[in-house]
Amino acid sequence: MLRQARAVRALSLTDAARAAGISPAYLSRLENDAVKKPSPHVLHQLSEGLGVPYGELMRLSGYRLPGRPGQHAAEGAAALFADLTDDERDELLEYLAWYRARRRSRARARAG
């Protein structure tokens, strides 16, 4: 998710690390799953620096959180796309409609 958040915001590894107050090398290790359980403090810094919900970063790092199932994942996805332009949103919706239609068509072809 960290790499996705950087890509959506067009941030380099260095810029994202600077925004989160951590080293680029440590951010790279986090993105490549070389660090299995980053501290809540680091996750909070990443949340602030990348605009990703803290709860979602905690959940993805294996920390247990209260709430209903799926709640935090939806919040994380919403945060990744919070700054879309109207044109970007329209393009994504158009792509999603195409993708879903293609999947339905393939499912029907397999069933028939």
Q: Within this chain, do residues 89 and 50 fall inside the same structural domain, yes or no?
A: no
Is residue 50 within 8 Å of 2, Cβ to Cβ? yes
Q: Within this chain, do residues 70 and 90 fall inside the same structural domain, yes or no?
A: no
Q: Within this chain, do residues 70 and 89 fall inside the same structural domain, yes or no?
A: no
Q: How many domains is the chain built from?
A: 2
Q: Within this chain, do residues 29 and 59 fall inside the same structural domain, yes or no?
A: yes
Give the predicted TM-score (pTM) of the model. 0.61
Q: Within this chain, do residues 50 and 96 fall inside the same structural domain, yes or no?
A: no
Q: Within this chain, do residues 93 and 58 fall inside the same structural domain, yes or no?
A: no
- Can you give the residue range of the structural domain that contains 68? 2-81
pLDDT in tens, the chain (112 residues): 899 888 888 899 999 999 999 999 999 999 999 998 999 999 999 999 998 888 889 988 988 877 656 555 666 667 667 777 888 878 887 888 888 888 888 888 888 7
